[in-house]
Amino acid sequence: MTFDTGLLIAAEKRSGKFHAIWNASVQRRARRTVPMPVLAQVWREKSVMIARVLNACTVEPFTERRAKQIGALLGKSGTADIVDAAVVLGAVERDDAIVTSDPDDIRRLLAALDENVPVIDV
C-alpha cells in the first residue's frame, strides 16, 4: 500500500477510517510505503502519531530521476500536484493500492499513465 498525505493526517487525528485501513494492512502483512514528498507535506514538529506510522513503513526516496518522472507525468496529465504524482508513480512501480483523501486527482494521474491500481479513499 502506498500512503498519501490524507492517510497520515487521518492517523494524526486518530480517525476510525485510519485505524480500519491500518489494521487491515497489518492483518494482510501488506508492504506500507510513504513517498518522501508525502512526508515533507505532512510533517510538523511533534507529529507523534505520524512518527509511529512511519516507523512501520518504508519511506521512498525522492531522487533526481523521480523528479523528472514526476515532471513528465504532470505535463502529460495536465495536473500540478507533485506529491500526488510521486504517490502514483511509486504505487504503479510496486503494483500497490493507493490510500488517499484525493481519489479524483489520483485517478486522473493513473489515467494519464494508462494504469489501474486500486484507490482507497480515506
The CATH number for 84's domain is 3.40.50.1010
Alpha-carbon 122 to chain mean position: 11
Phi-psi bin for 46: left (phi > 0), alpha (psi -120 to 50), beta? left
What's the confidence (pLDDT) of residue 105? 96
| Sequence-ordered list of residues with C-beta below 8 angstroms from that of 23, at least 6 positions apart, any chain | none
Q: What is the pLDDT of residue 46?
A: 86
What pLDDT does 67 receive?
A: 98
Count of domains forming the chain: 1
The pLDDT averaged over each successive group of 10 residues in the chain (122 residues) is 97 96 96 98 93 97 98 98 98 98 97 97 94
The continuous run of DSSP H or E covering 14 comes out as: none
- Domain ranges, residue 77: 2-121
